[in-house]
Amino acid sequence: MTPEHVAAWTSSHALTPIQIDCAVTVMLKILDGKCKMPAQEKVVMELLYDRIKHLPGQLLDRSIHALIAAARNANDAEALKNVIYEKRLLAETAISRPVMKGFKAMIRTEGLLPAKTATDSED
């Protein structure tokens, strides 16, 4: 998937505020090293985050974006890993598991990420 594909996808798929929160939470999971997605899917999710980070979420505070930016730009991301981890846990607590699973299923069904196979691990 290319940045152009992600841009086209986001242009034709308006995410709801809770879906914005889901995308932000996946970004936190990528940054804290707990995301089990294949590397290429992580790149797509980072590109998605970059396309939606200016949009309002439903549950997460907008200050989370400054933390994400700091972690992405840090020479020593390890220094922020515990803070990212805590914020991710709080986000995952705020967003119900069915909502997060629904978001992940939607982005696969709608073609942002490839469909899961029976052997794929859960993120």
**Mind giving me the DSSP string for 21-50?**
HHHHHHHHHHHTT---S-HHHHHHHHHHHH
Residues 6+ apart with CB under 8 A from 14: none
**Counting every residue, how long is the chain?**
123
- Report the pLDDT averaged over residues 54-61: 95
Burial class (CB in 10 A: 0-12, 13-18, 19+), 43: middle
How does pLDDT run across 62-81, given as a tens digit for each residue?
Answer: 999 999 999 998 876 677 88
Tell me the pLDDT tens digit for each residue of 11-55: 999 999 999 999 999 999 999 999 999 999 999 999 999 999 999
